[in-house]
Amino acid sequence: MQIANIKFPSRAVFLAPMEDVTDPIFRLLCKKFGADMVYTEFISADALIRSVKSTERKLEISDAERPVAIQLYGREPDAMAQAARIAEAANPEIIDLNFGCPVKKVAGKGAGAGLLRDIPKMLEITRAVVDAVTIPVTVKTRLGWDNDSKIIVDLAERLQDCGIAALTIHGRTRAQMYTGEADWTLIGEVKNNPRMTIPIIGNGDITCAEKARECFDRYGVDAVMIGRAAIGHPWIFSEIKDYLLQNKIFKITFEEQKDILKQHLIASCNWLDQRRGILHSRRHLAASPTFKGIPDFKQTRIAMLRAENLEELFRIIDNVKTIDN
């Protein structure tokens, strides 16, 4: 599989861009476990143009995580083009345009998935960014605004005509947010449209290796993108790759999973500081499948999320035992 001049293995697996999740530490961890491409958190074009320091920091990428895409969102073509040129200077492999974020503070202001209600402007933004940079531009979007406007099959062709190098489709509408089930049938329809020549990446509800292979087999996508299922579970990429290549999943032991979570905490604290690093990583502990199914775990989980230093937190994690122990 190839996006412009960037080569990927067949049946590539990507880490989805997620706000407050896909920071440099988590991207590197997912890369270690086999993610074929990682994406930054989505970056506001307006804030980037205004040189907001916290936004500029999201442009930090390292050679160890390549290939990496910087994702931008905004609602005005000129601003998006200007932001894309700034992002290109950070030297990513790809600029990705976010036309899929459903949250009110983004979509409600006409950016992200909000552009699904203004397709002419979405296309104008896409053309402006493609013309503004020399590296490949890709798009991530949804099926449509709601169940009555699933426009993705036609929209995909129009985006391709704007010059994008690949298209990621989340199998939900904006109205669904993250509820209900992702509908992959329209993703498959886009992929199997003979007029489409760019790679199609499918996203939505891939929570395990078996589901990833089903989506490749049934819908023919060129790559899949893992989002929420990777939170607290970066080794999901290894599980998927093992299953795709060898038809078996080499499970990481409970103790190994705990060690990975601790490594993530240490790296986050080194990147920020101990207090902020712990706060920033708590969602990974809360979401991790490592602790799911352990009887009477509620109080232990609360204690983990209240811990104020690594020594206390590691002591709690080390004392957690599985049912088998």
- Residue 97 in 3-state DSSP? strand
101 is catalytic: yes
Cβ(69)–Cβ(39) below 8 Å: yes
* C-alpha dihedral (120, 108, 140, 163), degrees to nearest 10: 20
DSSP 140-192: EEESBSSTT-B-HHHHHHHHHHTT-SEEEEESS-TTTTT-S----HHHHHHHT
Q: Cα–chain-centroid distance for residue 321? A: 31
Residues 6+ apart with CB under 8 A from 60: 24, 90
- Residue 253 in 3-state DSSP? coil
* Per annotation, catalytic residue among 101, 162, 215, 269: 101
321 φ/ψ sector (left φ>0, alpha ψ -120 to 50, else beta): beta
Count of residues for the chain?
325
How do beta strands 200-203 and 223-226 pair?
parallel
In the 8-state DSSP scheme, what is residue 6? E
Structural tokens at position 43: 């970056």
User: d(Cα 15, Cα 35) in Å, to the nearest integer?
Assistant: 6
Residues 6+ apart with CB under 8 A from 186: 143, 150, 152, 153, 169, 171
User: d(Cα 219, Cα 200) in Å, to the nearest integer?
Assistant: 10
Structural tokens at position 178: 């993250």
Catalytic residues: 101
